[in-house]
Chain A
Amino acid sequence: MSLRSPLGRVLGLGSAKDGTEHWWSQRVSAVALIPLTLWFLFSLLALPGLDYLTVRTWLSFPMSGFLAVLLVAVLTYHSYLGTTVIVEDYVPDAGTKLLFLLLLRFLYVLIGGAGIFAVLRVAFASP
């Protein structure tokens, strides 16, 4: 006979209150970032130059804009997951930890949001 409550059995989580979800999300986003980051690196290297017109024309192609949005989104998510673990590991005080974790969340939404919005502005700019 198990001493666990029915609710505890259903949730399947121990005193950590957290399962493998964070770990799994980190891996899935890591796999997604392999093609996305390599696409970005090779695209920049393949451009004839990095002057304004060349870069803007490249980014305004539908496929470039689409992949750039995915890149920024997944990068932001993956980076958020990673730095969250670092804060959880190295900040001992619970209150400071919560503050830093909230700060990280807001910062990442800000940075990711700004990047995605910029790509959309280029993509949907009137010619």
Chain B
Amino acid sequence: MDSSARARPTSPHAEIYRWQIGNSLSILHRVTGVALALGLIALSYWLVSIAGGEQAYAAASGVFASGVGVICLIGWTFAFLYHLLNGVRHLFWDVGVGFERSQRHLSGWFAVLGAAALTLCVWGLVFAGHRA
């Protein structure tokens, strides 16, 4: 019997791979990277609108201040802060620091919860300033 015909799981295979914080945060790093790539388009558009004059800027401000616009901006804030904190985590790994299991988990939670907390801080400031 030819056993090579049997479908064998390849590694890391989604069906047998145990989901954990490490791979979740790794995927989130990519996802936030792609989100920030779209954010770069928004940043360029914003800069072009400033150069374009008052009307162009008002149009861009309208887009960013809309419901979808604000949700995107909050999303980009979190994506940026997470990508920044997790990026620093990666830089520490690059120089060989923080590979222990407990350190990995601690720095991972720090990156994701820190980004969430800082996002709240930034948008708390924005909304507080808006009301004042």
Contacts and interface: CB of A to CB of B under 8 A. Distances in A.
> A and B, one complex?
yes
Interface string B51-79: 11010011001000000000000000000
Contacts of B61: 50
B50 A122 contact: yes
A86 B80 contact: no
B54 A83 contact: no
A118 B41 contact: no
Contact of B91 (A31, A56, A117, A122): A31
Interface string A57-95: 001000000001000100110010011001000000000
> Could you say which interface size class chain B belongs to?
20 to 34
Interface string B21-63: 0000000001001101100110110011011101001100100
A72 B37 contact: no
B113 interface: no
A98 interface: no
B44 A118 contact: yes
B33 A82 contact: yes
Contact of B41 (A111, A119, A121): A111
Contacts of A112: 40, 44
Interface in A98-118: 111-112, 114-115, 117-118
Given A86-B34, A111-B40, A111-B41, A121 B80 contact: no
B43 A119 contact: no
A55 to B, nearest CB: 6
Interface string B108-129: 0000000000000010011000
A121 B51 contact: yes
7 contacts: A27-B91, A31-B91, A34-B84, A55-B50, A86-B30, A114-B44, A118-B52
Interface of B: 30, 33-34, 36-37, 40-41, 43-44, 47-48, 50-52, 54, 57-58, 61, 80, 84, 87-88, 90-91, 94, 122, 125-126
Interface of A: 27, 30-31, 34, 37, 41, 45, 50, 52, 55-56, 59, 68, 72, 75-76, 79, 82-83, 86, 111-112, 114-115, 117-119, 121-122, 125
